[in-house]
Amino acid sequence: MGVSVIAMSAGLRIFLFFSFGYFVSYLFRGVNIGFAPYLTSELNLSAADLGMLTSLYFLGFALAQIPAGILLDTWGPRRVNAGLMVLAAVGTVVFGLSHGLPGLMLGRLLLGLGVAVCLGASFQAIAQTFPLARLPLINGLVMAVGGMGGVAVGAPLTALLQIVDWRTVSCGLAVLTLGVSALIFFGARPAAGTHPARAGRRPTMAEQMRGTRQLLRDPAYWRIVSLSVASSGAFYAVQSLWVKPYLLDVSQVSPTRAAGLVSVLGFAMVAGNICLGSLVRRVERWGMSLYVFGGLNMVVFMGVQIVIMAGTPLPLALLWTAYGVFGSSNILVYALLAERFPGPMLGRVNTTTNLLIFIMIFLCQIGIGWIVDLWPAQGGHYPAQAHLTAWGVVLALQAGGALWYFWPSRRAARPRAGRA
């Protein structure tokens, strides 16, 4: 009984502290939603400039994924995540103290590098600690805790910015980041026997690189991630920046209501992560695979985007709730990958997937800005057609991913051998 309690305690700490790390990364991901009006007024930024500045977080995140995956499989999620979060703390201070675009860009890039493993490390630590059958639900809970950062950058951040300026908020986030880094390093030690890096010989760097190259040459891997990469690019590019401009320019709501709907979207994403994760094993008992279930939810997400773009006369809160719930379904790909690939490769599998996803988010976020900027702004707002055109391009990317994902194949990826 004593050993069981210790194991449960270790599992709870690992879940909570790594989830807190992902919460911090989510704050940084979307904080420019609140900062944007102040940044544009101080620096006279265009939509393209704002898209570039914000997307540098995703570029930094993407650039770090392959080396970060190797570090995770070599040194473990606790050390790597805690160490890199110190770099994120430096990045947010640089951002907050900068008075020009180059400094802001450097700060955003450092932020992306510093939180690059918050998600991958969480999934790796969870996979090392909990049974395989519980991964969809627990991964969903990790995303739910992290997704509260998407809630915080809506109405709460807007209210906070009425009290203190964006520079103070940015520098204050450094304190939060360092605190969570310490929690992970000192408080998220795994229970005995759950950390594969402690057992046997640690793989060499050359072995790690060969494993990553093999993954990138695996057609089954590319097929699995195709739709999730496209769906994630669309969802997170909008949720982390362009949702508020869309609401202001297309839906023509007030700034206060727009901030409230951003928080609604954040809550909906949290609910989606929990509900979809908990439904996975149930639908499998009904005969539907995780592969099909995840894919269908991402197709429904495409339908929700079409409904929003069409200006369907439904309550905006309902539409953006659906956007958040079904947009969160891209997270199911990580549980699917955990079924298909061996445990010692999960760090590289997760971070390679993150690499592809965050490159897509970078391209979608900056691409939306470039497309919107093709129309002249009037009074700080862009015409509805500008946003709708950008959304249409992103929707076409998702349609291509769905076609690849569901195209009939004679080869089926075999599940990995592992614990149940």
- Report pLDDT digits (tens) over 93-143: 999 999 888 999 999 999 999 998 898 888 888 888 887 777 777 877 887
Q: Is residue 195 part of a domain?
A: no
Q: What is the mean pLDDT of residues 319-341?
A: 88
**Confidence label for 414 from pLDDT (cuts 50, 70 and 90):** very low
**Residue range 56-96, pLDDT digits in tens:** 998 888 888 778 777 887 788 999 999 999 999 999 999 99
389-402 per-position pLDDT tens digit: 999 999 999 999 99
Give a yes or no: residue 204 inside a domain.
no
Report if residue 199 sits inside a domain: no
Per-residue confidence band for 243, with pLDDT thresholds at 50, 70 and 90: very high
Number of domains in the chain: 1
Establish if 411 belongs to a structural domain: no
- Quick one: pLDDT band at residue 352, thresholds 50, 70, 90? confident
- In this predicted structure, the answer to whether residue 377 has a pLDDT above a threshold of 60 is yes
Quote the pTM value: 0.76
Quick one: pLDDT at residue 207? Answer: 65
Percent residues over pLDDT 70 in the chain: 89
CATH number at residue 233: 1.20.1250.20
Residue 41 domain-assigned? yes
What residue type is 263 in one-letter code?
A: S
Residue 5 has pLDDT above 60, yes or no: no
- Find the mean pLDDT for residues 209-225: 82
**Does residue 346 register a pLDDT over 90?**
no
Q: 285: domain range? A: 2-188+210-406
Is 327 part of any domain? yes
- When pLDDT is cut at 50, 70 and 90, the band that residue 349 belongs to is confident
Alpha-carbon distance of 240 to 211, in angstroms, equals: 32
Within a domain: 336: yes
231 or 142: which leads in pLDDT: 231
Predicted confidence at residue 204, as pLDDT, reads 57
Mean pLDDT across the chain, nearest whole number?
85
Question: pLDDT-based confidence at 192, cuts 50/70/90?
Answer: low
pLDDT at 199: 40
Residue 373 has pLDDT above 70, yes or no: yes
pLDDT at position 420 = 33
Tell me, yes or no, whether 193 lies in a domain: no
